[in-house]
């Protein structure tokens, strides 16, 4: 699926890009409601996972690596791993990212297929990456 930057964060992201606002760190969260991210979404649209030892991940803004990849700008973070405890099966449908300073939903992405976690040691690994392409 495609990464969605919702309307709520368009002005926020432009303010960050143009220096009108200072971004905070980002918080990477997993969502469990079976939805397709949309332009009208806000952070409250997503049901954050809350069981099996889950905790959101902080993406420190100074830890992004920015480089050209095939003539396209790409920012990436180290892989983020959740290792779960045993319990009732939960399907994780994707992830969303909020800014710690504003609480605004910055972007979201649905997995191609939901990931079921239930057993001790089950993992979800996400490598945060944003690519700016030429139109």
Per-residue model confidence as pLDDT tens digits over 69-106: 888 899 999 999 999 999 999 999 999 999 998 899 99
Asked if 9 and 39 touch (Cβ cutoff 8 Å), the reply is: no
Q: Check pLDDT > 70 for residue 1.
A: no
Residue 66: CB partners within 8 Å, gap ≥ 6? 73, 74, 75
Which pLDDT belongs to residue 38?
Answer: 94
CA distance 9 to 36: 17
- The residue with tokens 């003539």 is 71
Helices (H) and strands (E) in the chain, counts: 1, 9
Average the pLDDT over 109-113 and give the result.
96
The band of 17, judged by pLDDT with boundaries at 50, 70 and 90, is: confident
For the entire predicted model, the pTM comes to 0.91
């Amino acid at each position: 699926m495609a990464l969605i930057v919702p309307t709520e964060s368009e002005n926020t992201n432009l303010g960050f890009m143009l220096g009108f606002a200072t971004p905070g760190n980002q918080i990477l969260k997993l969502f469990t409601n079976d939805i397709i991210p949309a332009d009208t979404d806000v952070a409250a649209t997503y049901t954050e996972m809350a069981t099996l030892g889950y905790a959101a991940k902080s993406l420190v803004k100074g830890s992004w690596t920015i480089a050209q990849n095939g003539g396209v700008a790409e920012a990436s973070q180290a892989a983020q791993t959740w290792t779960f405890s045993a319990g009732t099966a939960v399907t994780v449908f994707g992830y969303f990212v909020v800014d710690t300073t504003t609480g605004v939903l910055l972007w979201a992405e649905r997995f191609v297929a939901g990931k079921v976690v239930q057993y001790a040691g089950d993992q979800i690994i996400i490598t945060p990456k944003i690519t700016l392409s030429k139109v």
